Structure 1
Amino acid sequence: MPRFPTLTRRNFFGAATAAVAATALPTQAGQAPPSSPPAIAALPNLAGQARPFTNAERMARIERARQLMTSAKIDAIVLANSTSSTVYFADLHLYGGERLWALVLPARSNPFLVCPAFEEGRAHELLSSGPLAGNVDVLTWQEDESPYVALAKGLKDRGLTSATIGLDEHMAFVFSDGIRAANAHVNVVSATPITAGCRMIKDAHEIECMRLACHATLLVYRAVAQSLQVGMTTTDVRMLIAAAYHRVGFEGEASLNVDEFTAVPHGSAKPQTLRQGSILMLDDGCSVEGYQSDITRTFVLGKPTDKMKSVFDLVQRAQSAALKTARPGVPAADVDAAARKVIVDGGYGPGFKYFTHRVGHGIGMDGHEWPYLVRNDMYGWDLAPKLEANMTFSDEPGIYIPGEFGIRLEDDMLITHDGAELLTPQCPSLEDPFANVQ
C-alpha cells in the first residue's frame, strides 16, 4: 500500500539497510551477531531470474510516447530531475537536487538534455550506455545562468517556441514555474497523458518482473512469519525482513504493525511488541529491475478470535469481488464499488467508515501510479476511466476497527484480456496465511 520517492511508509518506518541485513536480531556490544533463523537462511537467491531491460525496449517506449504526443497534440514532454519516467524511457537517473536536470523528448525531433555545465562530463557518461547514446544534445548552464534559458534555447532550435509542452507531474514547482516564465509563448500542459499513457500498460517483460517481485515478497513474508517469537519488537522484525531480502537478492522492506496499530491503515512508528495472540500486519514489497511489488498479509501469532475470523472472511470476499469485477472495459470505480459493497453489506459501513481507503492503485515502477481504483479520482486525470488489458493494480480491501484491530489483504492484480488475475495466491486464512505459497 505504499510508496517512493517522497515520505512514505517505506522511509517513515526507516529503511532496514544492508548493514543490518546479515543480522537477524540486535546484539550486545562486543558480541558476535547471531546467524539468521533457519527459515530465512533457507531462502533461495532469486536475483539471477531477473532480466535487465534493453535499449531496444526503451526506444520502443519513446516511439510510443511520440505517437501519444501526436494524438494529444503535445509537441514535447519535459522530465526534470529524478523521476521514474526518465528511467522508464531513457535509463537515466537524474539527481540534481536544486539544480535543474531536464530530459526533453520532442514528438518529431531529437531529444536534448539540460544540465549544469560542471556536470556535462557525467551527463555524457550517463547517456553513453542508454538508448539515446549519440542521438541527444547536451545543453549546459553555468551556476550564474538560468537553466530555463538553456531549455528555451533547445526548444527554439527545434522550432518549438510556440509549441505545446507537457511537464512531468512530479516536477518540483520551482522548475515548472521557471520553465513557464522563460517560455512565455509556449502552451504548458501536463505530460501525464503521455507518461502514464505509456507506463500504465505493461508489456510481458514488465509483468515478468512484477511476478518475480511478488513471489520474492511472499517468500520473505513467510520466512519472517516462521521466525517470529513472542517478545520481539517491530525493530527486531525489521532486521529479520532486511536479512530475508538480502537472502533473496532484491531491495525491499516492510512495516509490521501489531494489535490495535493494525487498525491504522499506514500503521504507527510507536514501539510495538509481539505477544501471544497478537494480530500482525506485514505490508510493502520489493523491487525487481525497477518494478515493484506491494503485498499485505494479516495473521495472528497464535489463535485468532471469532471476530477476527469473521472480519477476515469479509475482507477476503471483498478482495475476490474486486478481482471478479475487474476486466477490460469496466470503469475503475466499479472495482472499488464491488469490494466496498461486500464490506458494507457485512455490517462495516457506510461508505468509508471502516474500509477507509480506495480498493487499489496502479503499480509498476512506482508503488503508486496511474490509474487508481476509486470513484471521483482526486487526481483529476480522466484519460483512463476504464480498465485495459495489461494494467496492473493493487487489490487491497481492509476493515479497520479503531482501538481493536484491522485486517487488510493486498495482492497485485493484472488485468487480462478477458478478466483479471492476482500475481500471488490469495491469503487462505489468519491461522496459516502462507499455506499456498510455493
Structure 2
Amino acid sequence: MLSLPRRRLIGAAAALPLLSLPGLLRAAEPDTSDLKDITGGAVPIGPEERRARIARAQERMRASGIGAVLIESGSSLTYFTGVRWGRSERLTAAVIPADGAPIIVTPFFEAPSVSESLGIPAEVRTWQEDEDPLAVVAAFLKERRLATQPIGVEETVRFFAVDGLRKALPGARIVSANPVVRGVRMVKTAPEIALMQLATDVTIAAYRWTWPKVKPGMTAGEIGALMNAATRRLGGAPEFSLVLIDEAAALPHGSRKPQVVRNGSVVLMDCGCTVQGYQSDVSRTFVYGTPSAEVRKVWGDVARGQQVAFAAARLGAPAGSVDDAVRRYYESLGYGPHYRLPGLSHRTGHGIGLDGHEPVNLVHNEATPLAEGMCFSDEPGLYLPGRFGVRLEDCFHMTASGPRWFSEPPRSIDAPLG
C-alpha cells in the first residue's frame, strides 16, 4: 500500500488536475479485485426476533420483581429496539416495562431520525431542550403504575441519567438490570450466531489474502491497511486490525514504537469486523521466514492451550473453570504462575456478540455457568517480555452438545492459516 502523509497526498492531487483527492485516495488502496463480497446471504435481525428478545426480558423482569428497565443509547438499545444512536449530553433511551409496549425517549428534534431505525412497535416520547428527559421517563412509569416497583438500570447507563431518575422519582428503588439485560443478551439465537459466523468467515478470508502479501520492510500500519481493505471488499466493516511485530507482540495490546517486518520476525495479528453489527475476533501469530526453536515451542504451547480451554468449556461448568484449566496447563510447563510473566497475563477469553467484549469472561472466579447460546473468544496467549509473544484466538459458541468453533484453530506454525 502507498503510505504517504495526507499533506503529501494533497500536494500530489494538486499536480494531477484530472484526478480528485478522493480518486487519488482510492488509487492508493490495495488492489482487492481478486476478492468478492461473501456476505450477500446475511439476514438482518428482524422485528420478530426483537419482539422475542423483549418478551424474554419481560419474563425475567417479572421473575425478578423488576417493574421496568431503563436502557440508554448503545448496543443494548440496538439489541432490543433496533435504534442505533450515539451518546451525547442529550438523553435517548428506552424504557421497557414488565408488561406492555416499551417507549423511546428522545429529544424532540431528533425524533424523526431516531424513528428511522426503530425496529419494534414503540411510542416515541419527546422532550424539548428546556425540559428534563427523566421527567418524561418518570411520567411513563407513573402512568403504568410502575413507579413504586424496582426500576432496573442497564449497567452502562451514565450517572447523570440515574441521578436524574432519582430526583424525578425520589421514592423509587433503583436496581441493576443485569439479571434482565445480561441474562437475555448472553444467550445468542440462531440468527445472531449466523451473523457472527459470517463475520468470522470474512476475517479468516481476509487473513488468507493478507498474509502472503507481507514482505520485509513493511510496517504494522501497512499490514493492517491490507487487512482492512480485504475485509471491506469481502463485505465486512473493519472493527480493528492490531498488528504487533517481534518485541511488541509481547504486549497484548501493542506498542507505539516503530515496528518493521524482518526475516524471522514474529507477526501477531488480532483482527475483527462486523456483519450487520455482529462481531468477529480472530488472532493469528505468523513468522516471516523460518521460526526459531523457541518461537516454535511457544507457538505449540499456545495451540495446545487453546484446545485445553475448548475441552474445559462444558455446559454447566463455571466460566472461570475454563481459565483455571489453561493456567494449570501453562504452570505445568513453567509459565506464570497465575497472571505473572512470562506466561498468560490476561483472561483466557471474553464474551462476544454485538460488542467485541461482552459479559461474561472466561476468567478465574467467574461463577456463571456455561449455557447453550453463549459465545466466547478462546485466546490463551503467552508473552515473553522484551522478546516476543504468541496469541492464537478463535471464538466458539456453546451448543446442546458442547462448544463449537466459529473458526478452526490453525494446525501448526508451519500452517498458521490451517
Please report the TM-score for the alignment, with normalisation by the length of structure 2.
0.91
**Which structure 2 residues correspond to residues 70-81 of structure 1 after superposition, within 5 A?**
70-80=62-72
Q: Does 1:314 align with 2:308?
A: no
Q: How does 1:39-118 map to 2 (within 5 A)?
A: 40-80=32-72, 82-118=73-109
Give 1:290 shift.
1.3
Can you give the 5+ residue segments of structure 1 that lack an aligned partner in the other structure? 1-23
Please name the residue that 1:149 is paired with: 135
In structure 2, what is the equivalent of residue 238 of structure 1?
Answer: 224
Which residue of the partner structure matches residue 26 of structure 1?
3
1:404 counterpart = 2:387: yes
Aligned equivalent of 1:421, options 396, 399, 404: 404
Aligned mates of 2:203, 2:116 — CA distance in 1? 34
CA deviations 1:298-353 (Å, max 9, x no partner) are 11011111011111111111110110111111111111111111111111121111
Aligned partners of 2:303 and 2:221: how far apart in 1?
29
Q: Are the equivalent residues in 1 in contact too, given 2:247–2:388 (CA < 8 A)?
A: yes
Q: Does the alignment pair 1:305 with 2:292? A: yes
Structure 2 equivalent of residue 10 of structure 1: none
Runs of at least 4 residues of structure 1 off by over 6 A? Answer: none
Q: In the TM superposition, what whole-angstrom CA distance separates every residue of 1:160-190 from its partner, at most 9, and x where no partner exists? A: 1211111111111221221122211111111
User: Does the 8 Å contact 1:303/1:431 carry over to 2?
Assistant: no
Return the alpha-carbon distance in structure 1 between the equivalents of residues 178 and 283 of structure 2.
29
Within the candidate set 200, 205, 221, 2:207 is matched to: 221
Name 2:359's counterpart in structure 1.
370
- 2:175 alignment partner, SS class: strand
CA contact (8 A) 2:300 2:413 kept: no
Helix, strand or coil: the match of 2:126? strand
Q: 3-state DSSP class of the match of 1:49? A: coil
CA distance in 1, matches of 2:113, 2:143: 24
**2:21 equivalent in structure 1:** none
Deviation at 1:34, TM superposition (A): 5.4
Distance 1:346 1:70 in 2: 49
Match of 2:243 among 256, 260, 276: 256
Q: Structure 1 residues 42, 120: closer, same or farther in 2, change over 3 A?
A: closer
1:267-416 matched pairs, under 5 angstroms: 267-353=254-340, 354-377=343-366, 385-416=368-399
Native 8 Å contact 2:83 2:115 kept in 1: no
Structure 1 vs Structure 2: percent identity of aligned residues?
Answer: 41
Partner Cα separation in structure 2 for residue 126 and residue 206 of structure 1:
18
Q: Distance in 1 between matches of 2:208 and 2:407?
A: 13
What is the Cα deviation at residue 63 of structure 1? 0.6
Give the deviation of 1:94 after TM superposition: 2.6
- TM-superposed deviation, 1:96: 4.5
3-state DSSP of counterpart to 1:47:
coil
Partner of residue 196, structure 1: 182
SS of equivalent residue, structure 1 residue 275: coil
1:290–1:123 Cα change, 3 Å: closer
CA contact (8 A) 2:50 2:79 kept: yes
Letter in 1 for 2:67: D
Distance 1:226 1:61 in 2: 43
CA offsets 1:195-219 (integer angstroms, 9 cap, x no match): 1111111111111111111111011
The corresponding residue for 2:19 is none
Contact persistence 1:262–1:405 (CA under 8 A):
yes
Per the alignment, in what secondary structure is the counterpart of residue 294 of structure 2?
A: helix
Q: Deviations over 1:237-283 (max 9, x none)?
A: 22212211121011013110100000001112332111111101100
Letter in 1 for 2:347: R
The residue type equivalent to 1:70 in the other structure is R
Residue type of the partner of 2:174? V
Q: Report Cα offsets for 1:86-116 as digits up to 9, x if no partner.
A: 1111101133510111110101132112112
Looking at structure 1, the residues matched to 298 and 87 of structure 2 have their Cα atoms a distance apart, in angstroms, of 47
Which protein, 1 or 2, shows the higher relative CO under an 8 Å CA cutoff with sep ≥ 6? Answer: 1
1:164 pairs with 2:158:
no
Gaps of 5+ in 2: 17-23
Once the two structures are superposed, what CA deviation does each residue of 1:130-159 show, in whole Å capped at 9, x if it has no partner? Answer: 222xxx333222222211111111111111
Cα distance in structure 2, aligned partners of 1:69 and 1:314:
45
Larger CA deviation: 235-244 vs 64-73:
235-244
Structure 1 distance, partners of 2:232, 2:356, is 20
Report if the CA contact (8 A) 2:70-2:96 is conserved. yes
**In structure 2, the residue corresponding to 1:48 is in which secondary structure?**
coil
Cα distance change, pair 96–347 in 1 and its aligned pair in 2 (3 A): closer
Is residue 83–residue 114 contact of structure 2 (8 Å, CA) maintained in 1?
no
Q: Identify the residue that residue 184 of structure 1 maps to in structure 2.
A: 170
Q: TM-score, normalised to structure 1's length?
A: 0.87
CA contact (8 A) 1:166 1:188 kept: yes
Whether contact under 8 Å (1:139, 1:154) holds in the other structure is no
> Matched residues in 2 for 1:417 and 1:69: separation?
26
Whether contact under 8 Å (1:114, 1:140) holds in the other structure is yes
What residue in structure 2 maps to residue 18 of structure 1?
Answer: none
Q: How far apart in 1 are the matches of 2:248 and 2:110?
A: 47
